[in-house]
């Protein structure tokens, strides 16, 4: 069954994180039988040299310059020749490994399932327990740091929009899948540890850039997919929420993120118009009824 899967990872100047992830994949005996493709997106920390020396079986794409996460993922998709593709981030690893036979059987039974979104734990340290009583269910979208694609579904929709750069590509795909009657399912049996301290990101130098990209992508998805009559209210509500909950409470970096994101929307107007795939009012109502995306899993004490 493992021969039906390709593992895809993008990385950029995070060699220590990548070393940890690959060592863990080795420890759970996945790398020995699973095809793995890694895109080194212009790293300057000798990531490619490390991979070629220590993991010669891994297929490596190497960019001379950083092109962004989304373009890198699009390139990885083009190299997948297997029936399924698993995507994890370079700072993520499996706490409960995939059961490849069970996944294949699930996709055979659920013939309209395009993506499995894994259970994600965010934090620098592992959770105290992995137990979960959650059940498989349909949800709106998925989390990029741990998910699995049926490639026949991916091949039916447009590539991720590379001008998003970072953030929002999952929702872009989810709307396109919904329009084609594909579903996204939450698959809690697979637990992924995303080694990120979300609360500390405010202190990072890229905090404003991250917020700018997240807002730009979210608002672009409104313009591309939402019924026209809803766009002013959704966009206005989002902007007001950023001001009320962040800027007015002293987070002035978000103010600059809002301004730059609005500028990006105007600048990318032609790209938006060429990619419009709007939901009808009835489709939007149906989409709203789907369970929200499960992003942060918290273990019970």
- Residues 46, 167 share a domain: yes
CATH of the domain at 161: 3.90.550.10
pLDDT band at 102 (very low <50, low <70, confident <90, very high): very high
Q: In the chain, what is the greatest distance between 2 CA atoms, to the nearest angstrom? A: 56
> Could you tell me whether strands 183-194 and 92-94 are parallel, antiparallel, or unpaired per DSSP bridges?
antiparallel
Pair 207, 158: CB distance under 8 Å: no
Q: Which helix (H) or strand (E) holds 2?
A: none
Residue 92 shares a structural domain with residue 229:
no
Residues in CB range of 71: below 8 A, 6 or more apart:
162
> Domain span at residue 47?
2-197
**How many structural domains compose the chain?**
2
Secondary structure of 73-93 in the HEC alphabet? HHHHHHHCCCCEEEEECCCEE
Residue 135 located in a structural domain = yes
Phi, psi values for residue 222, rounded to 5° = -55, -50
Does 12 reside within a domain?
Answer: yes
Here the tokens at position 94 are: 């499996």
**Which residue, 197, 213, 247, sits at the end of a domain?**
197
Within-domain flag for 119: yes
How many H helices and E strands in the chain?
A: 11, 9
Q: What is the pLDDT of residues 204-244, one digit of tens each?
A: 778 899 899 999 999 999 999 999 999 999 999 999 999 99
What's the whole-number average pLDDT of the chain? Answer: 94
87 - beta bridge partners? 8, 147
Q: Based on the domain organization, do 191 and 223 belong to the same domain? A: no
Distances (CA, A) of 297 to 138, 300, 301: 16, 10, 13
Q: Are residues 94 and 204 in the same domain?
A: no
Residue 154 in tokens: 């991916």
Q: What is the mean pLDDT of residues 42-50?
A: 95
Give the pLDDT band of residue 180 (cuts 50, 70, 90): very high
Domain boundary residue, one of 164, 197, 230: 197
Residues 247 and 166 in one domain: no
In a shared domain, residues 214 and 112:
no
Is the same domain home to 9 and 120? yes
**pTM for the full predicted model:** 0.93
133 inside domain? yes
Last residue of a domain, one of 171, 197, 223: 197
> Is 294 contained in some domain?
no
| 202 has a pLDDT exceeding 70 | no
User: Higher confidence at residue 259 or residue 166?
Assistant: 259
In a domain, 293, yes or no: no
DSSP string, 231-243: HHHHHHHHHHHHH
Mark whether 252 and 206 lie in a shared domain. yes
- Does 41 lie in the same domain as 190? yes
Query: In this prediction, what percent of the chain has a pLDDT beyond 70?
Result: 99
Q: Are residues 145 and 222 in the same domain?
A: no
Is a pLDDT exceeding 80 seen at residue 198? no
Q: Do 172 and 214 belong to one domain? A: no
CB 202 within 8 A of CB 252: no
Q: Residue 53 above 90 pLDDT?
A: yes
């Amino acid at each position: 069954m493992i021969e039906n899967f390709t593992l895809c990872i993008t990385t950029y100047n995070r060699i220590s994180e990548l070393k940890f992830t690959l060592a863990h994949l080795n420890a759970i005996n996945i790398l020995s039988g699973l095809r793995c493709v890694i895109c080194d997106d212009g790293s300057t920390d000798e990531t490619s040299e490390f991979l070629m020396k220590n993991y010669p079986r891994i297929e490596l794409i190497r960019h001379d310059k950083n092109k962004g996460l989304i373009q890198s993922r699009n390139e990885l998709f083009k190299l997948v020749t297997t029936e399924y593709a698993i995507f994890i981030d370079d700072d993520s690893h499996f706490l409960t490994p995939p059961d490849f036979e069970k996944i294949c059987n699930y996709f055979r039974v659920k013939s309209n399932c395009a993506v499995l979104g894994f259970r994600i734990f965010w934090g620098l340290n592992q959770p105290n327990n992995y137990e979960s009583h959650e059940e498989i269910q349909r949800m709106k979208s998925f989390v990029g740091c741990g998910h699995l694609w049926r490639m026949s579904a991916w091949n039916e929709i447009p590539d991720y929009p590379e001008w998003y750069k970072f953030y929002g590509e999952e929702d872009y795909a989810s709307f396109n899948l919904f329009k084609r009657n594909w579903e996204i399912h939450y698959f809690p049996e697979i637990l992924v540890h995303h080694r990120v301290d979300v609360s500390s990101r405010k202190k990072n130098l890229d905090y404003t850039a991250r917020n700018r990209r997240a807002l730009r992508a979210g608002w672009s998805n409104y313009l591309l997919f939402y019924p026209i009559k809803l766009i002013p209210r959704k966009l206005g509500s989002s902007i007001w929420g950023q001001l009320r909950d962040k800027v007015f409470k002293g987070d002035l970096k978000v103010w600059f993120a809002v301004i730059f994101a609005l500028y990006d929307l105007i600048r990318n107007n032609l790209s938006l118009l060429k990619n419009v795939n709007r939901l009808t009012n009835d489709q939007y109502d149906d989409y709203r009824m789907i369970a929200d995306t499960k992003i942060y899993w918290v273990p019970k004490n």
